[in-house]
Chains A and B, each alone.
Chain A
Amino acid sequence: MITIHKYVRAQSLEEAYALNQSRRNRIIGGMLWLKMSTLNIATAIDLSGLGLDTIEETDDAFSIGAMVTLRQLEQHQGLNRYMNGAAAEAVSSIVGVQFRNMATVGGSLWGRFGFSDVLTLFLAADSYVELYKGGVVPLAQFAAMKPDRDILVRLIVKKTSASFAYRSMRIQRTDFPVITCAVSRVNDCFCASVGARPHKAILLRDDEGILAGGITEESAAAFASSVAQRCPTGGNLRGSAAYRTHLIRVLVKRAILALGGNA
């Protein structure tokens, strides 16, 4: 249970940042994860009045505010056109529509959760987070950083010549995933991002050029095997390490075939 003594809808990022320097205060995004913990919060800092709830598309990039909901990611036509529907696919099994109307991109990335579909998805793209004090940082670098008292302002997804596909496996719809997997071809480089290992998503590139000659059943299977071999997995109540490694082999292959247009 969380107890909150004071609620402030921040008027500026500076105000939110200043309040967030006290360890007794907390930024609230969708509050869905926070609410599951036992916490005594002096001041809850709400970012919902700062206009960070839109996805802006320019010729070069998508700028996704920290308070954008997972449902907005699912429904944004431009983003899904660019990502070949992978954004919608990645979030569509996260609990339900009501939940996705509340859970935010900021809270999802800030948490750097092992199970995160959102982190898995965006690691496979040319993505950056803008931190209020820390500036613009590549998403992979941010994922490896320890949470501090900064504020995630927005996610930036740079547009390149790219295509994407997303696959995940759940024991049951709406449950946490057993494995998540996003693949992409960005400027002719193939890579796979794998999460729910059950650890945080990591990015594995096709450094050996397995897919350089084109996507076929054989090359997709070979790349999937290479990813499965290189990707560390562990066991938890949703599945063993060996099961996850097996799933990686299956899902990466399927996703690569989808990328090549033979889903």
Chain B
Amino acid sequence: MMEIRLKLNGKTITDHIDADLLLIDFVRRHGCLSVKRGCETANCGLCTVLMDGKPVLSCSLLAARADGHEIYTLEGLQQEAEAFVGFIADEGADQCGFCNPGYVMNTIALLRENPNPTDDEIRAYLAGNLCRCSGYEGQLRGIRRFLNSRAEGGSHAE
């Protein structure tokens, strides 16, 4: 067992962990159940969390390596997500919805890094998020509609 101390969704947490505990299991143990296992081979993006603001795959990262760092999951970023998830839902992009938390987390990272992405930049940034159901066009249309609406000063509620 080893001790780690990190910030999870803004709260400092100290815990004793096994050396091979994966970050996905650590955050789930601390109540962040939006973070899910898909492939577990670093291929699907479902387990995306932000570490020091950068999107990473929690299925393939040791919790030990997150010691001293800041982690955010969807639980801590609800407000930021709310701005655009409605647009994506309206485009029918969520079918089974399983891929959604990973998509939302990586879209947050995209929009922080590049607030006005082109369609190709959206496709490139989200390429590591796999979706079994939608064919990806719905997500792209939803993000595009969000960006257009924001440029016009609107929000989803209006």
Q: Which of A's residues lie within 8 Å of B, judged by CB? A: 2-7, 9, 28, 30-32, 35-36, 44, 46, 48, 71, 92-93, 95-99, 101-102, 173-174
Contact = CB atoms under 8 A, between A and B. Distances in A.
Q: How large is the interface on B (under 10, 10 to 19, 20 to 34, 35 or more residues)?
A: 20 to 34
Contacts of A2: 20
B118 to A, nearest CB: 15
A98 B55 contact: yes
A4 B18 CA distance: 8
Nearest to B123: A173
Interface of B: 2, 19-20, 41-43, 45, 48, 54-57, 60-62, 64-65, 67, 106, 109-110, 124-129
Contacts of A92: 124
Contacts of A46: 62, 64-65
B140 to A, nearest CB: 14
A97 B109 contact: yes
Contacts of A71: 54
Contact of B61 (A31, A97, A174): A31
A98 B106 contact: yes
Contacts, number: 78
B128 A97 contact: yes
B62 A4 contact: yes
Contacts of A28: 62
B19 A6 contact: yes
Contacts of A7: 2, 19-20, 62, 64
B106 A36 contact: no
Contacts of A96: 45, 106, 126-129
B55 A44 contact: no
A99 B60 CA distance: 9
A44 to B, nearest CB: 7
Nearest to B64: A7
Given A4-B20, A98-B106, A102-B57, 12 more contacts: A7-B20, A32-B42, A44-B62, A46-B64, A95-B42, A95-B128, A96-B128, A97-B106, A97-B109, A98-B57, A99-B57, A101-B56
